[in-house]
Amino acid sequence: MNENGCIPRTHKNKNRRLSNAFCFDDLKNAIDFIQNYAEEFGLPQPKVKNQGHPHIFLPSSGNKSSLHSTYVTSCTEANKRHVGLTTFKLLWRDCCPHIKYMTPRSDICPKCENHRANISTAAGHQEKQEHLQAFTEHLLMVEKERQVYNNAVKNARKEMELNHRPAGVIPPCSTDLKEVHYTFDFSQALSIPHHARQEGPLYFLTPRKVQLFGVAIEGRTAPSNQLSD
């Protein structure tokens, strides 16, 4: 302090490679393991416009921690050095961001699920490519339908803003609005009694199924766009 004054401390390992640092082959081995596992067990998705690598979804029954355990076992049997879980996740994020685990709510479209099942159970490369092409055509059609829906919602909101409706006031169907877009659907089915943690006596009860039906005006933003549930 007396000789140099108040200066920042310099770490001894600055500009030096740590003795226990992973070499290039160790990191590449981890990346290759992730890619090979995804190629064998993953479901490749059709390439979307303005997207780099097409997404590959892994089964939702696993996770990165369980796959790391499999990777460690594989390296141990092959007498190779393995990286830790944190480094494994960082390599996955930086080098394989297109490989993801599918969540139970990733997609509920029955046609998409059928296409994914066909791709997963394809006997050969040719059959897999045929199912992948059919999946691509389905997604292109869905994209066109989504574009029509988005345009209808955009026009409805623009017309609603031009009419200067007070906040919270929902006009009836008899108004002179021409671009109103209504959405209605059965959102989900619930069983009564419904408990996240099922108690013992509730197991023997026969639940009553209730269908939730919702209607909304897409021209107005939530939550004032809901008409009824």
Please give the structure tokens belonging to residue 218.
């897409």
Residues 48, 119 share a domain: yes
Q: What is the pTM of this model?
A: 0.46
Residues 204, 120 share a domain: no
Instruction: Return the higher-pLDDT residue of 119 and 85.
Output: 85
pLDDT at 205: 59
Q: Is residue 177 part of a domain?
A: yes
How many domains is the chain built from?
Answer: 2
Domain boundary, last residue among 107, 141, 175? 141
The single-letter code of the amino acid at 153 is V
Across the range 210-219, mean pLDDT stands at 75
Q: Would you say residue 166 has pLDDT above 90?
A: no
For residue 153, which of 182, 131, 126 has the smallest C-alpha distance?
182
Distances (CA, A) of 163 to 86, 171, 172: 55, 11, 14
Beta-strand relationship, 208-217 and 182-192: antiparallel
Residue 134 · residue 115 · CB < 8 Å: yes
Q: Is 195 helix (H, G, I), strand (E, B) or coil?
A: coil
Residues 41, 136 share a domain: yes
pLDDT at 229: 42
Range of the domain at 187: 166-228
